[in-house]
A and B are shown apart, each in its own frame.
Chain A
Amino acid sequence: MFTHPTLRRHSALRRGWRRCLAGVAALALVGSFAAAPAQAATSEAPASENVLRIATDGFIDSFNPFTSFYLVPTNTFRYMYENLVANDAEDGSVTEGLATEWNTDDEGKVWTYQIRPDMKWSDGEPLTSKDVAWTYTQMMEKEEMAVANGSLVENFDKVEAPDESTVVITLKKPQANNPGQEIPIVPEHVWSEIDKPGEFKNDEKSVGSGPFQLESYEANKSITLKANPNFWRGKPKLDEIQYRYYTNSDAQVQAIRSGEVDFISGLSPDQFTALEGADNVKLNDGNGRRFNGISINPGVADAEGKEFGTGSEALKDKKVRQAIRAGIDIETLRKQVMHDYAQPATSFIPAVYPNWTLKSDDPVISGFDVKKAKKLLDEAGWKEGADGIRAKDGKKLELRFLTDADAPIEQNTAKFLAPWMKDIGIALKNESTDVDTVSERTTKGDYDMYFSGWSINPDPDYQLSINTCGQRPDADGNGGTSQDGWCNKEFDKLYRAQHVELDQAKRAELVQKALAIHYEEAPSVTLWYPSQLEAIRSDRFTNFTKQPTDGGVIANQVGYWGYASVEPVSAEEASGGGGLGAGGWIGIAAAVIVVLGGGGWLLSRRRKSDDRE
């Protein structure tokens, strides 16, 4: 096989080297050709000055506010359609929307709203109380219009518009929570003309009352919103908002570094710290409206009290659940696992709602206390065995902790938890699996403990309601939704009382009492309220409004405050320092390689033709 090349083996070897160099040079040349026009093009087309570009990866089925329940459309509706009443930026409490004022009868059954006069839809048509009544009635009367928000009008008996500026909502049962929140009001003159409004996609040139209107939507590419000149608070300073699709959050981080987008949200702590010190990027560690917790199976049962699932018998005893709480050093966990990007928590209503959240000085709150945990387990009859694991009636205290294998926060929490539980005599096994298995097993009650989380709206009523006995689903997940599968008559009584208490101070007191019971019973241990980590191109835009205004979030607000106030940074302010960045130096290095490589390549061509002769 080696017969022919042997003659010229030596020269072949040398030629091999040259070939190789030539290859490198060729690659480098291709690279530089590719890069050069690209760079030129970037500087040719500067980003339009007054368009806020936001990275997104969310699902969109349509922009129909009656049927869409995905996060991106729902957040967009908040910018497209004003509600009857809004939730303010400061602490999420109810503030004026389409209505300037409102009142209710003595028991909270008949709500009367005064609509602001002379408002216009984005197409210039007048906006009146008729539009409000029409929108609500559609949702109450037609099943296909109730897909997304039907539960919000379930308690509505009738809605009337006695004159152009008055709306009267009569409820079936009294409620303290203002019924005019979170339901987008649409223009009757547009929607009543649509043949099948339940199937209408509403994905271009929308007509609405909010600060921005949907201009166009291209699936998996972009969403464009245009400022509404008729917005009653005044036309926004931005011309447009453009959402751009990035499937992957690491790509979003690169996009804000390169200036292809102006705002990103939902960063991981690692991504957030990686952006520290990036040029022209301002970071926002916003206090969020979510909580994370460890749900402890208190013996899940359906609404009739029929038990199902595989939860440990031991956990039906609240002393064992309390011992688990006392055995977890939540503060260390918050600092180590969350890198401090989370607020300390009490119960499941987050601290961004100061009216409702359980106060941190409430007497029911107890801290990390190993001694107390051991004492509680002793009292519950679990005696320490030779291996340090407690046992009762010959059965060891062994529990399973269900976690999502793809969530580093859950995995790290599990790593801390196992030794802490062992310290108090509980053998805790981390069962990590995929997120779908977690949700299926928790639905079926097939767990002892799992890592849970919920987003909470400004009014606590819904979250409290899913902690009541009647909201528990059956083993197939039908019938209702329950936060922890827990049932407590005392809690239910407080829930019902706050549901109709019109005096806000008194209602807050009832809510906190209910939260204290949940805390004491410990069907779940609230760990923290995670921050929403966000980044802004500070060389392009300024004046984002946070919710809460003090230390809150910009994206995913309950309202349109975040982008409605944004202003472009003027050109002089934006011009950054000159000089050569890292990119420049690497570019120069690449050029040097190309020149050297190119020389080698030419050289090799010449030598080769020599060889041939």
Chain B
Amino acid sequence: MTRPARNDPHPADPTDPGPASATHSADPADPDPASAAGSTGTADADEPPAGGSFAGYFLRKLGGAATSMILVIVLGFFAFRMLPGDPVLKIAKERPMSPAQIAELRSQYGLDKPVIVQFWDYLVGIVTGDLGESYVYRKTVSSLIVEYLGPTLLLTGTAALIAIAMGLWLGQLSAWRRNSLFDKLASSTSLIFWSVPTFWLGLILLMIFGGTLQWLPTGGMITPGLDPWSAAGIIDVIKHLILPVVSLVVVVYAQFLMIMRASLIEEMSEDYLTTARAKGLTEDEVRRRHAVPNALLPTVTVVFLHIGGLIAGAVTVEAVFSWPGLGKLTFEAIRGPDLPLLQGTFVVFSAIIIVMNLAADLVYRFLDPRVRRA
């Protein structure tokens, strides 16, 4: 996953006429068209050539996403079949099973058919929205995914909101006080956490707050027997949510912090800030009203890109905290190996990432007028 290069009208460029007149500075979100046109030509080869319509841009991005999706679907079938391990032999391992029983199981799973027939069934299934039946759960994969999507969205959604809010807030503070002690501490702490493996951090948190202090539960989403919609049930879910959310947030907020920081530092040398100060605004007001809104532009697109990754990243956290979501489902499907379920979750995770990438492209175009006009 790559961060889209931002169209950057270099501030020091002497040929840049600059938007620094008093009339423009009140609305910095709308920079001088001349500067934008002058810079897009060289800045990003990925952008459409000047004059491309929005429809063309949209179709091209959509085409790219569709191609990725087709590749994912093909890969989803063959990659897991190329992996070593025969699901039926794994079940039969160490069990008194007769050859007839093994053959019966093979035919129940459809594994006795030639691979090409299995592939065709799989393709037809995907087109008709039928992802097959899980070997282990004996339910359709689609119904399992729908059932387990909720807990995953609750976990990753909460984590994403907190990580983004915390990362952006700390990032803009760090940029504004660049090279101060706060900046150094905030940036380096976030980077240290960023390099910590999620499962390791999860286990450590589990040990301290679950096993030793016994403040928080050690796994699951709700204490069995509680009604999730009662007051006690909601409190119980929140208690179960704290540790997995903290493990997710602490590891990923660095990327939001660093993006926000870099983006704001670029903004900080802009002339319109000097104008704002000249108007007598305090430093905090200059930052909040002028610098940060502009710096948010490139950040938002990157945030979209990372949300997809965050959902996929839930696999480890859900496995550590026994969170009954898609990640745990995938983790157990690998152990199986439960081929239809593995294919299903793989395709769904990939689809989420592809859709998020597409959304990032479109939002970027929509938010940044320089790209829109290109």
Contacts and interface: CB of A to CB of B under 8 A. Distances in A.
A440 B85 contact: yes
Interface string B184-212: 01100000000000000001001101111
Interface stretch (A248-256, A340-348, A415-423): A248-256
Contacts of B89: 439, 443, 477
B336 interface: yes
A244 to B, nearest CB: 6
Interface string A194-223: 000001010000000000000000111110
Contact of B105 (A5, A147, A201, A221): A147
A16 B324 CA distance: 42
Contacts of B180: 12-13, 16
B127 interface: no
Contacts of B116: none
A248 B84 contact: no
B99 A41 contact: no
Interface in A1-54: 1, 4-5, 12-13, 15-17, 19-20, 23, 34-35, 37-39, 41-42, 45
A2 to B, nearest CB: 9
Interface in A55-93: 57, 59-62, 69-70
Contact of A247 (B90, B268, B328, B337): B328
A583 B206 contact: no
Interface string A207-248: 000000000001111101000000000000000001011111
A436 B337 contact: yes
Interface stretch (A257-265, A304-312, A323-331, A371-379): A257-265
A69 B181 contact: no
Interface stretch (B38-46, B217-225, B354-362): B217-225
Interface in B234-278: 235-236, 239, 242, 268-269, 273-274, 277
Contacts of A38: 215-216, 239, 242
A293 B215 CA distance: 43
Given A38-B216, A45-B232, A260-B217, A251 B321 contact: yes
Contacts of B148: 220
Contacts of A257: 210-212, 214
B96 A462 contact: yes
A69 B100 CA distance: 15
Which of A17, A151, A612 is packed against the most chain B CB atoms within 10 Å?
A: A151
Given A19-B173, A219-B137, A151 B96 contact: yes
A280 interface: no
Contacts of A245: 219-220, 322, 324
Interface stretch (A478-486, A524-532, A554-562): A478-486
Contacts of A62: 138
Contacts of A259: 214
Contact of B138 (A5, A35, A201): A201
A105 interface: no
Contacts of A60: 136-137
Contacts of A12: 177, 180
Contacts of A42: 214-215
A582 B213 CA distance: 8
A258 to B, nearest CB: 4
A147 B217 CA distance: 39
A224 B99 contact: no
How many A residues are at the interface, by size bracket? 35 or more
B332 interface: yes
A472 to B, nearest CB: 11
A462 B98 CA distance: 11
B324 A220 contact: yes
B149 to A, nearest CB: 13
B181 A582 contact: no
A478 B86 CA distance: 12
Which of A13, A20, A150, A437 is packed against the most chain B CB atoms within 10 Å?
A: A20
Contacts of A69: 91, 95, 97
B319 interface: yes
Given A245-B219, A436-B84, A440-B84, A147 B319 contact: no
Contacts of A220: 148, 322, 324, 328-329
Contact of A45 (B100, B212, B223): B223
Given A248-B319, A250-B203, A582-B212, A218 B138 contact: no
Contacts of A435: 85
Given A147-B104, A151-B96, A221-B224, A246 B218 contact: yes
A454 B94 contact: yes
Contact of A17 (B181, B225, B319): B181
Interface string A466-503: 00000000000111110000000000000000000000
Contacts of B173: 19
B93 interface: yes
A434 B236 CA distance: 38
A154 interface: yes
B337 A583 contact: no
B271 to A, nearest CB: 11
B101 A151 contact: yes
A41 B236 contact: yes
A122 B250 CA distance: 51
B320 interface: yes
Contact of B211 (A4, A35, A254, A443): A254
A380 to B, nearest CB: 33
A61 B137 contact: yes
Interface in B156-198: 170, 173, 177, 180-183, 185-186
Given A41-B235, A146-B101, A587-B213, A440 B86 contact: yes
Interface in B297-323: 318-322
A455 B101 contact: no
B348 to A, nearest CB: 17
Contacts of A571: none
A580 interface: no
B212 A436 contact: no
Contact of A480 (B99, B214, B336): B99
A386 interface: no
B97 A222 contact: no
A126 B135 CA distance: 36
B146 interface: no
Which of B90, B220, B222 is packed against the most chain A CB atoms within 10 Å?
A: B220
A106 interface: no
Contacts of B219: 244-248, 251, 255, 260
Nearest to B98: A151
B332 A59 contact: yes
Contact of B136 (A61, A439, A480): A61
B239 A16 contact: no
Contacts of B54: none
A478 B268 CA distance: 70
Contacts of A34: 242
A84 to B, nearest CB: 17
B145 to A, nearest CB: 13
B176 to A, nearest CB: 9
A128 to B, nearest CB: 29
Nearest to B222: A221
A250 B206 CA distance: 9
Nearest to A258: B214
27 contacts: A4-B283, A35-B215, A38-B242, A39-B215, A41-B236, A42-B215, A60-B136, A69-B91, A70-B136, A147-B104, A150-B98, A151-B98, A152-B96, A221-B220, A222-B224, A242-B225, A246-B219, A247-B319, A248-B320, A250-B206, A250-B207, A251-B320, A440-B84, A443-B89, A477-B89, A478-B103, A612-B282
Given A20-B182, A38-B215, A254-B218, 12 more contacts: A61-B136, A70-B136, A219-B324, A221-B224, A245-B219, A247-B332, A248-B203, A254-B210, A255-B211, A258-B211, A260-B219, A453-B94
Interface of B: 83-86, 89-105, 108, 135-138, 147-148, 170, 173, 177, 180-183, 185-186, 203, 206-207, 209-225, 232, 235-236, 239, 242, 268-269, 273-274, 277, 282-283, 318-322, 324, 328-329, 331-332, 335-337
